[in-house]
Amino acid sequence: MKKLLLFLLLSSFLLLITACNFGDETSSEQDGDDGATETENDSSEEEGTSDESSGEKVINLVEESDIPTLDSSHAHDGIGFTVLNNVKEGLYRGDENHTPQLAMAEDHQVSEDGTVHTFTIRDAQWSNGDPVTAHDFEFAWKRTFEEVGHYNVMFETASVLNATDIINGDKSPDELGVEATDDKTLVVTLENANALFKQLLTFPTFLPQNQSYVEEMGEDYGTEAENVLYNGPFVLDSWSHDQEWTYKKNPDYWDASAVNLDQINVNVVKETSTAVNLWETEEVDRIELSSSYVDQYTDAEEFEVIELPDIVFMRFNHNLEQFQNANVRKAIDMAIDKEGLTNTILNDGSLPLNGLVPLNFSNSPDNHEDFREINGQFNEGTVEDAQALWEEGLSEIGSDGFNVALTVSDDENHQKAAEYIKNQLETNLDGLTVEINTVPFSARLEQEKAVDYEMVISTWGPDYSDPMTFIDMWVTDGPANRMDFSNEEYDELVQQARVETDAAARYELLLQAEQILMDEMHIAPLYQGAYSMLTRTFVKDVVHHPAAPEWDYKWADVE
């Protein structure tokens, strides 16, 4: 009996070890060992890392969570978009300056009124050998509506014919304005000329899918590395869920000569402290730091800050009497020392924000000047200025002060910011008391959408590289408005900008719209985020785009 028990215990233990996915590891490790072992250090015997002498160029990265799906119709997060962008390719790909360049399309003709776009698909093939055809695009785009993908709204943003009607249920996905007239020709019809169209085509929702393959895979499509076809610079060689995935150079990629890396290993690491330790043991070549590590590494030559176009700001509930008063809003915005917030409290490279559109996000089409610099900083002033505005505002609404509830989600940085704002406002503005109301992220979102808050610390990241992604948030009853702000002139400007095809005139409209919103501080911008990163000096030319897809490794290299 005892022997039997012992035997059972031992065998279940062995079973356990074999069930631990170590097997997947050994296979990819062997791949690595074939020619890739790090020469720079002696600590990485067990990991296959980069080695220039053997000719294989390998880099090791970390991501903080797993890939949710490889199905481009369903992809909905930064990590998924980055992976898809590197293993697949659409009609256009953003280059190192974030400008869309022809990719799967080798030619793009536009009709005179700007509504009919004819693409010629280049000779390229899927990783199973099938040619990439115009039908793959038509199929994938329509499928996104059938599958109710997260981002089918991008087709509406791109003004693709009937996209709005399909979302509203008035038309069927089959009536989308896209048609493959033959294997090589794709005709896309727009409702109206759209200045954003080319830019949007770099977004992963517009990627092609091979119909017969997708149908053969059924529900399994996109759930494993083996269940997707690739046509991008890399293929996904292995993917152990929540553990790691490996890119390998795609030898059949049409522009394979431009691709320098042979392999990219990505490990899922959720804790910054763990990533730092892996950096120290030289197992990974690039990590993101949290603010507590910034001071420690700020002088390292591998340290760099990448400003992000993700903005953090406060919404005012425009239904409340006190927040209908411009002076009150301006006083609240001005009374906060935003530099103190970013430099002392957050200390992660974040920049103070005094406008809607962040810095380093968009340049004007004619003289390439930054949007933020053209429109300048709004509502800057001293504490005394803020107090004067506050007194004026209070007398206008006939009040001698009030209490305000500040809703904030349970994000660490946002909570720090909320404490700081409470302190600043209560110190600087007489008669204002702030009560912080911390809720889970999803609850914050529900309260925002129901406009059931007084002030709320909100966030927004761009969907594409154009100021419109921030500007059109504030149209009357827009889905991202969430504060019952309504201004006819603003709505009018946004509408004009949507159909304006002259780039310079369109930019001017966007600048004007921002001025309307910010002259009276309908929101109180706080800061734009940043990555504080450590990257090994031998890693070159990794491209970071301001909007999804975030990272492009096509041109990356190891020196």
Looking at beta carbons only, is 111 or 281 nearer to other proteins?
281
Q: How far is the CB of 347 from other proteins (least distance, A)?
A: 21
Q: How far is the CB of 480 from other proteins (least distance, A)?
A: 8
Q: How far is the CB of 209 from other proteins (least distance, A)?
A: 14
Looking at beta carbons only, is 116 or 268 nearer to other proteins?
268
Residues across the chain: 559
Looking at beta carbons only, is 12 or 537 nearer to other proteins?
12
Q: How far is the CB of 541 from other proteins (least distance, A)?
A: 26
403 neighbors 433 (Cβ within 8 angstroms): yes
Looking at beta carbons only, is 54 or 277 nearer to other proteins?
277
Looking at beta carbons only, is 160 or 336 nearer to other proteins?
160
Pairing of strands 402-409, 432-439: parallel
Looking at beta carbons only, is 113 or 242 nearer to other proteins?
242
C-alpha–C-alpha distance, residues 493 and 513, integer Å = 6
Q: How far is the CB of 12 from other proteins (least distance, A)?
A: 9
C-alpha–C-alpha distance, residues 343 and 346, integer Å = 6
Q: What is the DSSP string of 166-222?
A: HHTTSS-GGGSSEEEEETTEEEEEBSS--TTHHHHTTSGGG----HHHHHHHGGGTT
Please provide residue 418's backbone torsions phi and psi, each rounded to the nearest 5 degrees. Answer: -65, -45
Q: Who's near 136: CB < 8 A, 6+ residues apart? A: 208, 209, 210, 211
Q: How far is the CB of 206 from other proteins (least distance, A)?
A: 16
Looking at beta carbons only, is 77 or 559 nearer to other proteins?
77
DSSP bridge pairs for 455: 316, 406
Binding stretches for other proteins (CB under 8 A):
13, 16-17, 19-22, 25-26, 29, 43, 46-47, 66, 68-69, 71, 74, 76-77, 147-148, 150-153, 167-168, 219-223, 240-244, 267-271, 273-274, 277-278, 280-281, 283, 439-443, 445-446, 449, 459-460, 463, 479
Dihedral angle computed from the Cα positions of residues 259, 265, 268 and 271, in that order, rounded to the nearest 10 degrees:
-90
Q: How far is the CB of 274 from other proteins (least distance, A)?
A: 5
Give the full edge-to-edge strand order of the sheet including 185-189: 105-110, 116-121, 185-189, 178-182
Q: Which residue's entry shows tokens 């069930």?
A: 19
